[in-house]
Amino acid sequence: MALHVYFCVSPCIVFVHHVRSEQVRMLDRFSNKSTSGTLHLTATHLIFVESNAAVTTILHHHIASVEKLSLTTNGCPLVIQCRNFRVVHFVVQKERDCHDIYSSLLRLLRPVSYEELYAFSYNPKQNDQQREEGWQLIDLGAEFERMGVPCDQWQLTDVNRDYKICDTYPRDLYVPITASKPIIVGSSKFRSKGRFPVLTYFYQEKKAAVCRCSQPLSGFSARCLEDESMLQAISKANHNSRFVYVMDTRPKLNAMANRAAGKGYENEDNYSNIRFQFVGIENIHVMRSSLQKLLEVVGSRSLSASDYLLGLESSGWLRHVKAVVDAAICLTKAVTVEGASVLVHCSDGWDRTAQVCSLGALLMDPYYRTIKGFMVLIEKDWISFGHKFADRCDQLDGDPKEVSPVFTQFLDCVWQLTEQFPQAFEFSEWLLLQIHEHVHSCQYGNLLANNQRQREELQLKDRTHSLWAFLLSEQQNYVNPAYCPGHAETHPVLEPSTFHIFVLLFLTSLNLYLDIVSHMKPTICPQETVPSRLFNEVLDTICPSLLSTINRCLINGTVPSCFKHEAVQPLFKNSDLDLTVLSNFNCHSYQTFLRK
Amino acid sequence: MEFSEHIKTANVEDVVLRRPFYQPTKGTLCVTGHHLIFSNRGGDSARPFLLLLRNIDAIEKSVENLLGYSRLFSSTGQSQRPSVSSGTITLKCKDLCVLQLDIPGMEECLNIASSIESLSSLETVSEMYPFFYRPPFLSLQDQWGLSSTEQHYAQMKEIHDGWRVSQVNRDYSVSPSYPPAVIVPHSIDDETLVKAARFRQGGRFPVLCYYHRETGTVIMRSSQPLSGANRKRCREDELLLQAVIDGSELGYIIDTRSSQQAQQARMTGGGFESKSCYRGWKRLHRQLEKGKVLQESLIKLVEACGDQSHSVDRWLSKLENSKWLSHVQTALSTAGLVAECVERDGHSVLVHGSEGTDTSLLVSSLAQLILDPDSRTLAGFLGLLEREWVQAGHPFQQRCAHSAYSHVRLRHEAPVFVLLLDCVWQLARQFPLAMGFSEPLLLRLAKEVYASDYGTFLCNSDQERCVTGVKERTHCLFQSLLRANERQHYSNPLYERTELAIWPSIQPPSLQLWKGLFLQWTDDALHLVEAQKVIQNLVSQCHRPLNEKVENTDG
């Protein structure tokens, strides 16, 4: 069977490659069972249709790596690792077919320009007006107003209207009223990438501000009077406290090393009323390899419980998550208990700073624990302040050293909090999973590119759709049934315990990964509507028992495990019943289409 | 009452009690024969705090006598002030709770401590609290226990052809740890049983514990055969096992020791079924830890969970080092193996370790939970525990004499029953709809097994229970748990009966630490308990209209 390439003009799918059914088998992750089917490659998706019509789709943007293993008697194995941690294992009978798929995937995988991304071709059948409305759902100006800014101490500045001072910041920035334009310009010249201190969250009750910036270019001895007066201005804007905390989220050693490169940290002697403090979150490279190790542990088969725990520990991921949460707790205490303003920075102020500021705000302000509020938080601290989504999430073919799961880690931290305070959050795990899915899917414009300026240049608002509009349109799917709006009144500020957060982390973050790995909801592909439509048609007949099950599953928050009810069967690897070895005892899930 | 000998100081005023989830409170402490009673008269909590002395695992005291003497001789005007010397007693309970009492007066403190020490370690069964507990809602005339072997047999009509109830142990002479009646193959007469029993440790010859209707196969359990170093045989024991697999060609013997351990057991008179003597039986070894190893595992686990220090970087290593989750994994996988043999391959299984009172029970009861929907209901689960643990002679008194905090030298302690509850919890977590009972039941049982108002977990065997009059003079926990209002509390609102076997996943990521038990006294537990209540309410709200709807359509 030859491989043919053809293009057909169907409403939304353009086929590129097509391999006949008996030629491809998909292996189950947990057993040696396999299903045969047809593999299609379209311009945007990889689609595997099983002989029983079950469909598996993978967006090309989700594919992190494709690996061709050495030829076996059954055929040529192809392992696809996805960015949402899914691993799919195909066996293609003919090596030539396999090679063709492999090479076309490699070509499709590595978009070099933004225009190639799915968002520019994705069309959810909305007209322009609907799309514009979608983009207007979240308005950061209104958000600062909600916080009580501008006020008598803080004002909106227009210095960055044309991205002249800092091209990675948004146009609208809030600074102390006493910070004049020369001070701002001077301060920005003394900060890495021009990212001078600006307001990100205002704690109205105590008039305390959370500000963010990048590291100062202090080297071993350099000073900048404007930068010093900038911090002075931040301090003066808060009458509750005589000083402002400066929180360097890096480990001290890293910050010291930066001094040799002309960067560094604030010298307490030069700044009149600051309290300086290191927090010690590791850098993007450490996080990247930590997640890599974690996934290796979680993904490996037949580990003993001991090896598993040790592997988990040595990955360090939980330790890093704890460090981030600890920093956020520290920030929250300074603001809510002491009423002091805090300035947070790391090196460039777009990774660790974004994590700590947004988590801190989540702990301080119940609004961010609602579905809409959480979107606003991401829009503010991550999107507008220039977290480099394109580089960190590897959206375009770029430097692999720039890739790092900083945002994934933030979502994990949030998820830990939702576990510790089940009643405090309006949204459930599914919202976090959906957002994580779409950071990599490049299906919507919000999370594309590295900063606001790039987004405007790409005209994303005119050419793509908004993720928030999509998520809000189906927000009933993401509601946490245990949510109590009253919880916000009794616990306006969350106080997670640092030790037990760690314990809980371990206890359940495994679940998160398992859920991500094995139960991803493939909602991305338009083809997916077929089975669900089918499902809708038969719904009347299998209601209401099914409905009750689903409802209760949703309420319980553990949908996948419910369906294990009939789904998980231990199987022996070998049919000759060699029962003496533990590893012969395996788990296998029979997937029901209900899961989708 | 003889308890008074132990009580040197019965009452102390102005004691400060510190316990999890509560502000420290000042009040009066009172020591009675079985309880510590703490009441703050002025306080808003009307009900006094009651702690069963039996629940106390370890007691630590520290006294301070700063300035005590100088004040003693000072002016009388100061005698009104509370004594400066004081002591602190830390009580570490078997339910893993840690309490602290600040007691004014060094002497009182020492007296109280020594009273607690001696009263909490009383070992005479008939002096224990269950013999004095007389709640208004239960009567001693009620049946003790849920069901007897005969009643259980009578319910299973389908086994009447091949199996019978034997009263051979009616005076406990054949096996002191077995109940008076057991279910055995029809073709085996009592005389053969007596001889077979002599060939098994403790007289625990193979008896039926579960009959699987779908395949007509069974799970049996026993203790190890006493084949010894010179490979003795016992014709009757072989006949008994032959009768079990009569007709089918194969049965499995799951030995809960490693094959090396089984070999070593021969040196001390024990052993295993050799292939040549037991035709048709295939022996498999799965090593399950018990005794000291298990107890130390629990101790390490509890220590790791109580480590509140902020240097938690090594926490996962500590957890790993306790090996508790490995034990859970092994227990579940062995039970899965047994269930697999019965359900998939249609072969009967005999489970035994050495004594047949610990790991054998663990494996056989877990296998039943996997296979049998009847044992997954609330009443069915309690019935299972009664048959497989209480009647089958798990030595509760020895195994649960002390828990994780005790400084006493270990003798026979082992948390086998707690391990069972943990495994059941893992099952219930993986199959949230399949179990008729909820986590609070498992937590309650984990607490009751160490210190209880009820007599169910007293003594080591049915015989001892009869001798000490437990069945006449105490109340039965299982009966009490099945009362209407209790039943509701311990039922799983999500329960939906499934006839299918529930196969647990034993991949390490599927196994979790049972935080409900091991972390129940930490602050986070409060949030989780609260949320659980909300979820439970939501579920029952959702459930009610649906149930009504279903009933309506049925009608």
Is the pLDDT assigned to residue A570 strictly greater than 50? no
Cβ distance of B527 and A423 shorter than 8 Å: yes
Average pLDDT of the segment spanning A456-462? 91
Cβ distance of A587 and B546 shorter than 8 Å: no
- The whole-angstrom separation of Cα B411 and Cα A155 is 73
> Cα-flanking dihedrals φ and ψ of residue B392, to 5°?
-75, -5
Average pLDDT of the segment spanning A519-545? 30
- Classified as helix, coil or strand, A190 is coil
Q: Best mutation site among A30, A321, A552 for testing chain B: the one with the most B CBs within 10 Å?
A: A552
pLDDT given for residue B31 in this prediction = 87
Range with the poorest average pLDDT among A582-596, B18-32, B213-227, B439-453: A582-596
CA distance A304 to chain B (A): 7
- The whole-angstrom separation of Cα B221 and Cα B202 is 13
pLDDT band at A574 (very low <50, low <70, confident <90, very high): very low
pLDDT in tens, B71-110: 444 444 444 444 567 888 899 999 888 888 888 888 888 8
Single out the residue of B264, B266, B251, B186 nearest to residue B220, CA to CA.
Answer: B251
pLDDT in tens, B128-140: 888 888 888 888 8
Residues A386 and A349: beta-carbon distance below 8 Å = no
| Residue A224 among the catalytic residues | no
Is the pLDDT assigned to residue A365 strictly greater than 60? yes
- The whole-angstrom separation of Cα A210 and Cα A327 is 13
3-state secondary structure A204-254: HHHCEEEEEECCECCCCCCCCHHHHHHHHHHHHCCCCCCCEEEEECCCHHH
Q: Residue B371 is inside which H or E element, if any?
A: helix B359-371
Q: How far is CA A256 from CA A16, A224, A252, B518, in A?
A: 53, 19, 6, 42
- If you measure CA to CA, which chain B residue comes closest to A304? B508
Cβ distance of A482 and B542 shorter than 8 Å: no
Is the pLDDT assigned to residue A48 strictly greater than 90? no
- If you measure CA to CA, which chain B residue comes closest to A313? B316
pLDDT band at A526 (very low <50, low <70, confident <90, very high): very low
Single out the residue of A354, A376, A401, A348 nearest to residue A166, CA to CA.
Answer: A348
Residues A366 and A204: beta-carbon distance below 8 Å = no
pLDDT given for residue B443 in this prediction = 92
Contacting residues of A for B503, CB less than 8 Å apart: 568-570, 587
Is the pLDDT assigned to residue A579 strictly greater than 80? no
What is the CATH architecture of B3-72+81-122? Roll (2.30)
ipTM of the prediction greater than 0.85, yes or no: no
Cβ distance of A585 and B337 shorter than 8 Å: yes
Average pLDDT of the segment spanning A261-285? 90
CA distance A38 to chain B (A): 31
Is the pLDDT assigned to residue A62 strictly greater than 70? yes
CA distance B57 to chain A (A): 24
- If you measure CA to CA, which chain A residue comes closest to B522? A500
Tally of CB atoms within 10 A around A280: 16
Tally of CB atoms within 10 A around A492: 13
Q: Which residues pair with A39 in a beta bridge?
A: A19, A48
pLDDT given for residue A544 in this prediction = 31
Pair of tokens at residue A362 = 């989540």
Average pLDDT of the segment spanning B443-456? 91
Range with the poorest average pLDDT among A556-570, A579-593, B459-473: A579-593
CA distance B375 to chain A (A): 16
pLDDT in tens, A170-226: 999 999 999 999 999 999 999 999 999 999 999 999 999 999 999 999 888 888 999
Contacting residues of A for B534, CB less than 8 Å apart: 422-423, 482, 484
- Assess whether the previous peptide bond of A544 is cis (omega < 30° from 0): yes
- If you measure CA to CA, which chain A residue comes closest to B325? A305
Cα atoms in the Cβ-side hemisphere of radius 13 Å centred on A274: 23
Contacting residues of B for A580, CB less than 8 Å apart: 284-285
Cβ distance of A556 and B494 shorter than 8 Å: yes
pLDDT given for residue A542 in this prediction = 31
Pair of tokens at residue A405 = 């799961």
Residues A327 and A410: beta-carbon distance below 8 Å = no
Range with the poorest average pLDDT among A197-211, A579-593, B288-302: A579-593
pLDDT in tens, B392-416: 999 999 998 888 888 888 888 899 9
Is the pLDDT assigned to residue A4 strictly greater than 70? no
pLDDT band at B310 (very low <50, low <70, confident <90, very high): low
- Which of A297-301, A384-388, B226-230 has the highest mean predicted lDDT (pLDDT)? A384-388
- If you measure CA to CA, which chain A residue comes closest to B548? A544
Residues B122 and B52: beta-carbon distance below 8 Å = no
pLDDT given for residue B79 in this prediction = 45
- The whole-angstrom separation of Cα A183 and Cα A187 is 6
Is the pLDDT assigned to residue B46 strictly greater than 80? no
CA distance A323 to chain B (A): 11
- The whole-angstrom separation of Cα B393 and Cα B360 is 11
- Residues near B134 by beta carbon (within 8 Å), at least 6 away in sequence: none
- The whole-angstrom separation of Cα A32 and Cα A77 is 13
Q: Best mutation site among A28, A308, A590 for testing chain B: the one with the most B CBs within 10 Å?
A: A308
Cα atoms in the Cβ-side hemisphere of radius 13 Å centred on A209: 28
pLDDT in tens, B378-390: 999 999 999 999 9
- The whole-angstrom separation of Cα B148 and Cα B179 is 9
pLDDT given for residue B491 in this prediction = 87
Is the pLDDT assigned to residue B264 strictly greater than 50? yes
> Cα-flanking dihedrals φ and ψ of residue A468, to 5°?
-60, -35
In chain A, % of residues over pLDDT 70:
79
pLDDT in tens, B148-159: 888 889 988 888
Cβ distance of A555 and B539 shorter than 8 Å: yes
Contacting residues of B for A548, CB less than 8 Å apart: 542-543, 546
CATH fold of B149-500: Protein-Tyrosine Phosphatase; Chain A (3.90.190)
In chain B, what are the domain boundaries? 3-72+81-122, 149-500
Interface check for A484 against chain B (CB to CB < 8 A): the answer is yes
pLDDT in tens, A99-138: 888 888 888 887 888 888 888 888 888 888 888 888 999 9
- The whole-angstrom separation of Cα B485 and Cα A404 is 54
Looking at chain A from residue 365 to 404, which residues have their Cβ under 8 Å from any Cβ of chain B? none
Tally of CB atoms within 10 A around B88: 17
Report the mean per-residue pLDDT for chain A: 77
Cα atoms in the Cβ-side hemisphere of radius 13 Å centred on B209: 38
CA distance A428 to chain B (A): 13
Contacting residues of B for A541, CB less than 8 Å apart: none
> Who among B312, B316, B433 is closest to A309 (CB)?
B316
Q: Best mutation site among B349, B366, B507 for testing chain A: the one with the most A CBs within 10 Å?
A: B507
Looking at chain A from residue 405 to 444, which residues have their Cβ under 8 Å from any Cβ of chain B? 420-423
Query: C-alpha angle B19/B20/B22, rounded to 5°?
Result: 75
> Who among A547, A551, A562 is closest to B433 (CB)?
A562
> Who among B316, B337, B498 is closest to A565 (CB)?
B498
Q: Best mutation site among A309, A369, A543, A546 for testing chain B: the one with the most B CBs within 10 Å?
A: A309
Q: Which residues pair with B101 in a beta bridge?
A: B17, B89
Interface check for A120 against chain B (CB to CB < 8 A): the answer is no
- Classified as helix, coil or strand, A176 is strand
pLDDT in tens, B478-535: 988 988 888 888 888 888 888 888 888 888 877 888 888 888 887 666 777 777 777 7
Alpha helices, DSSP H only, in A460-497?
460-463, 467-473, 487-490
Q: Pick the catalytic residue: A82, A211, A224, A346?
A: A346
Is the pLDDT assigned to residue B316 strictly greater than 90? no
pLDDT given for residue A184 in this prediction = 93
Contacting residues of B for A481, CB less than 8 Å apart: 535, 538
Is the pLDDT assigned to residue B451 strictly greater than 50? yes
Is the pLDDT assigned to residue A78 strictly greater than 80? yes
pLDDT band at A596 (very low <50, low <70, confident <90, very high): very low
Average pLDDT of the segment spanning A397-401? 87
Cβ distance of A504 and B505 shorter than 8 Å: no
Range with the poorest average pLDDT among A427-441, A558-572, B482-496: A558-572
E strands in A249-309: 274-278
By the 10 Å C-beta count (0-12 exposed, 13-18 middle, 19+ buried), B250 is classed as middle
Looking at this protein, which amino acid is placed at residue B410?
L
pLDDT given for residue A370 in this prediction = 94
Binding residues of A for substrate, as ranges, are 283-284, 346-352
